[in-house]
Amino acid sequence: MAQKDISTVGDRLVTELYQRHANRIFKYIYTSIHKREEAEDMLAEVFLAAFKYKGLSRLNEQQQYAWLISVARNKTIDWYRRSNRYSHTSLELLLDKDMSDAGERLPEHVMIKQEEYALLQERILHLPELQQEVLRLRFIVGLRSVEIASMIGKTEGAIQAALWRALRALRTLYQNEKG
Protein backbone atom coordinates (compact mmCIF):
# COMPACT_ATOMS: atom_id res chain seq x y z
CA MET A 1 0.00 0.00 0.00
CA ALA A 2 1.38 3.40 -0.96
CA GLN A 3 2.05 6.10 1.65
CA LYS A 4 -0.83 8.22 0.31
CA ASP A 5 -3.25 5.27 0.66
CA ILE A 6 -2.15 4.68 4.27
CA SER A 7 -2.62 8.32 5.22
CA THR A 8 -6.05 8.39 3.55
CA VAL A 9 -7.12 5.35 5.59
CA GLY A 10 -5.79 7.05 8.75
CA ASP A 11 -7.60 10.30 7.92
CA ARG A 12 -10.84 8.42 7.34
CA LEU A 13 -10.47 6.47 10.61
CA VAL A 14 -9.85 9.59 12.68
CA THR A 15 -12.76 11.36 10.97
CA GLU A 16 -15.06 8.44 11.83
CA LEU A 17 -13.79 8.38 15.42
CA TYR A 18 -14.37 12.12 15.68
CA GLN A 19 -17.94 11.81 14.42
CA ARG A 20 -18.68 8.97 16.86
CA HIS A 21 -16.91 10.14 20.00
CA ALA A 22 -16.14 13.88 19.91
CA ASN A 23 -19.24 14.90 21.89
CA ARG A 24 -18.60 12.49 24.77
CA ILE A 25 -14.89 13.30 24.87
CA PHE A 26 -15.67 17.02 24.87
CA LYS A 27 -18.11 16.54 27.77
CA TYR A 28 -15.42 14.69 29.70
CA ILE A 29 -12.83 17.41 29.09
CA TYR A 30 -15.27 20.26 29.76
CA THR A 31 -16.57 18.78 33.01
CA SER A 32 -12.96 18.32 34.07
CA ILE A 33 -11.68 21.85 33.36
CA HIS A 34 -14.90 23.90 33.04
CA LYS A 35 -13.45 26.24 30.39
CA ARG A 36 -15.25 25.91 27.05
CA GLU A 37 -12.59 27.38 24.73
CA GLU A 38 -9.77 25.47 26.40
CA ALA A 39 -11.85 22.28 26.26
CA GLU A 40 -12.40 22.80 22.52
CA ASP A 41 -8.65 23.30 22.03
CA MET A 42 -7.91 20.21 24.07
CA LEU A 43 -10.39 18.16 22.03
CA ALA A 44 -8.57 19.25 18.87
CA GLU A 45 -5.27 18.17 20.46
CA VAL A 46 -6.74 14.74 21.26
CA PHE A 47 -7.70 14.15 17.64
CA LEU A 48 -4.42 15.59 16.38
CA ALA A 49 -2.69 12.98 18.54
CA ALA A 50 -4.95 10.36 16.91
CA PHE A 51 -3.80 11.48 13.45
CA LYS A 52 -0.20 11.08 14.56
CA TYR A 53 -0.62 7.69 16.26
CA LYS A 54 0.29 5.03 13.71
CA GLY A 55 -1.03 2.10 15.77
CA LEU A 56 -4.59 3.38 16.04
CA SER A 57 -5.85 1.32 13.10
CA ARG A 58 -4.60 -1.89 14.77
CA LEU A 59 -6.89 -1.35 17.76
CA ASN A 60 -10.50 -2.47 17.83
CA GLU A 61 -13.22 0.17 18.18
CA GLN A 62 -13.47 -0.15 21.97
CA GLN A 63 -9.69 0.13 22.34
CA GLN A 64 -9.63 3.17 20.04
CA TYR A 65 -12.21 4.92 22.20
CA ALA A 66 -10.33 4.01 25.39
CA TRP A 67 -7.13 5.35 23.81
CA LEU A 68 -8.84 8.66 22.95
CA ILE A 69 -10.23 9.01 26.48
CA SER A 70 -6.78 8.24 27.91
CA VAL A 71 -5.25 11.00 25.79
CA ALA A 72 -8.01 13.39 26.92
CA ARG A 73 -7.44 12.44 30.55
CA ASN A 74 -3.68 12.96 30.25
CA LYS A 75 -4.22 16.34 28.62
CA THR A 76 -6.53 17.45 31.44
CA ILE A 77 -3.97 16.30 34.01
CA ASP A 78 -1.28 18.27 32.17
CA TRP A 79 -3.58 21.30 32.10
CA TYR A 80 -4.01 21.14 35.88
CA ARG A 81 -0.29 20.73 36.42
CA ARG A 82 0.44 23.78 34.27
CA SER A 83 -2.25 25.92 35.81
CA ASN A 84 -2.18 24.64 39.41
CA ARG A 85 -5.96 24.55 39.44
CA TYR A 86 -8.17 22.12 41.26
CA SER A 87 -10.63 19.94 39.40
CA HIS A 88 -14.33 20.25 39.82
CA THR A 89 -17.19 18.52 38.13
CA SER A 90 -19.58 20.73 36.22
CA LEU A 91 -23.02 19.49 35.44
CA GLU A 92 -23.83 22.36 33.09
CA LEU A 93 -23.57 20.11 30.04
CA LEU A 94 -25.81 17.49 31.60
CA LEU A 95 -28.35 20.15 32.46
CA ASP A 96 -28.25 21.48 28.89
CA LYS A 97 -28.79 17.96 27.54
CA ASP A 98 -31.58 17.23 30.00
CA MET A 99 -33.36 20.45 29.08
CA SER A 100 -33.02 19.86 25.33
CA ASP A 101 -34.14 16.22 25.65
CA ALA A 102 -37.22 17.30 27.54
CA GLY A 103 -38.30 19.72 24.85
CA GLU A 104 -40.27 22.67 26.12
CA ARG A 105 -40.73 22.64 29.87
CA LEU A 106 -42.44 24.96 32.23
CA PRO A 107 -40.09 27.62 33.64
CA GLU A 108 -40.60 26.35 37.19
CA HIS A 109 -39.49 22.85 36.15
CA VAL A 110 -36.36 24.29 34.57
CA MET A 111 -35.59 26.29 37.73
CA ILE A 112 -36.07 23.23 39.95
CA LYS A 113 -33.78 21.14 37.71
CA GLN A 114 -31.12 23.87 37.73
CA GLU A 115 -31.26 24.03 41.51
CA GLU A 116 -31.00 20.23 41.81
CA TYR A 117 -27.96 20.15 39.50
CA ALA A 118 -26.28 22.98 41.42
CA LEU A 119 -26.77 21.11 44.70
CA LEU A 120 -25.45 17.88 43.18
CA GLN A 121 -22.40 19.68 41.79
CA GLU A 122 -21.70 21.21 45.19
CA ARG A 123 -21.91 17.79 46.84
CA ILE A 124 -19.64 16.16 44.27
CA LEU A 125 -16.96 18.76 44.98
CA HIS A 126 -16.75 17.42 48.55
CA LEU A 127 -15.74 13.96 47.30
CA PRO A 128 -12.11 12.85 46.97
CA GLU A 129 -10.55 13.50 43.56
CA LEU A 130 -10.56 9.78 42.58
CA GLN A 131 -14.27 9.51 43.27
CA GLN A 132 -14.99 12.66 41.25
CA GLU A 133 -12.94 11.26 38.35
CA VAL A 134 -14.67 7.87 38.49
CA LEU A 135 -18.09 9.56 38.49
CA ARG A 136 -17.13 11.65 35.43
CA LEU A 137 -15.75 8.68 33.51
CA ARG A 138 -18.70 6.43 34.38
CA PHE A 139 -21.69 8.75 34.06
CA ILE A 140 -20.55 11.50 31.69
CA VAL A 141 -18.23 9.56 29.38
CA GLY A 142 -20.09 6.26 29.81
CA LEU A 143 -17.10 4.01 30.40
CA ARG A 144 -17.42 0.68 32.19
CA SER A 145 -15.48 -0.09 35.36
CA VAL A 146 -12.96 -2.27 33.53
CA GLU A 147 -12.21 0.55 31.05
CA ILE A 148 -11.82 3.09 33.84
CA ALA A 149 -9.52 0.72 35.72
CA SER A 150 -7.30 0.28 32.68
CA MET A 151 -7.15 4.01 32.11
CA ILE A 152 -6.42 5.01 35.70
CA GLY A 153 -4.11 2.11 36.48
CA LYS A 154 -6.20 0.58 39.25
CA THR A 155 -8.02 -2.71 39.55
CA GLU A 156 -11.62 -3.03 38.44
CA GLY A 157 -12.53 -3.80 42.06
CA ALA A 158 -10.90 -0.57 43.23
CA ILE A 159 -12.88 1.40 40.65
CA GLN A 160 -16.14 -0.27 41.62
CA ALA A 161 -15.38 0.43 45.28
CA ALA A 162 -14.61 4.10 44.53
CA LEU A 163 -17.85 4.39 42.56
CA TRP A 164 -19.84 2.71 45.34
CA ARG A 165 -18.25 4.96 47.99
CA ALA A 166 -18.97 8.08 45.92
CA LEU A 167 -22.62 7.15 45.45
CA ARG A 168 -22.95 6.19 49.13
CA ALA A 169 -21.40 9.51 50.19
CA LEU A 170 -23.79 11.45 47.95
CA ARG A 171 -26.75 9.48 49.29
CA THR A 172 -25.62 10.17 52.88
CA LEU A 173 -25.30 13.89 52.16
CA TYR A 174 -28.83 13.97 50.75
CA GLN A 175 -30.26 12.01 53.69
CA ASN A 176 -28.51 14.20 56.26
CA GLU A 177 -29.96 17.32 54.65
CA LYS A 178 -33.47 15.89 54.61
CA GLY A 179 -33.31 14.36 58.10
Give the span between the Cα atoms of 21 and 121, in whole angstroms.
Answer: 24
Band (pLDDT 50/70/90 cuts) for residue 150 is: confident
Band (pLDDT 50/70/90 cuts) for residue 105 is: low
Residue 158: its pLDDT value, please?
93
Q: Which residue has the higher pLDDT, 25 or 9?
A: 25
Taking the model in full, what pTM does it have? 0.60
pLDDT at residue 122 above 60? yes
**Alpha-carbon dihedral of residues 126, 129, 130, 132, nearest 10 degrees?**
60
- Domains in the chain (CATH in brackets) are 3-83 (1.10.1740), 92-178 (1.10.10.10)
Cβ neighbourhood burial of 138 (10 Å; 0-12, 13-18, 19+): buried
Cβ atoms of 104 and 96 closer than 8 Å: no
What is the DSSP-derived secondary structure letter of residue 127? Answer: S
Specify whether the backbone of 153 is left (phi greater than 0), alpha (psi in -120 to 50) or beta. left
pLDDT in tens, 36-49: 999 999 999 999 99
Residue 7: its pLDDT value, please?
52
How confident is the model over 7-15, as a mean pLDDT?
77
Residue 8: its pLDDT value, please?
60
For residue 8, give the H/E element and its range: helix 3-33
Lowest mean pLDDT among 114-128, 135-149, 162-176: 114-128
Give the span between the Cα atoms of 149 and 157, in whole angstroms.
Answer: 8
How confident is the model over 55-74, as a mean pLDDT?
90
CB under 8 A, 24+ apart: contacts of 35-38: 38/79
pLDDT averaged over every residue in the chain: 80
Residue 163: its pLDDT value, please?
94
Q: What is the CA radius of gyration of the chain?
A: 18
In 3D space, the residue among 67, 91, 103 whose CA is nearest the CA of residue 170 turns out to be 91
What is the DSSP-derived secondary structure letter of residue 130? Answer: H
- What is the length of the chain? 179
Band (pLDDT 50/70/90 cuts) for residue 72 is: very high
How confident is the model over 11-26, as a mean pLDDT?
93
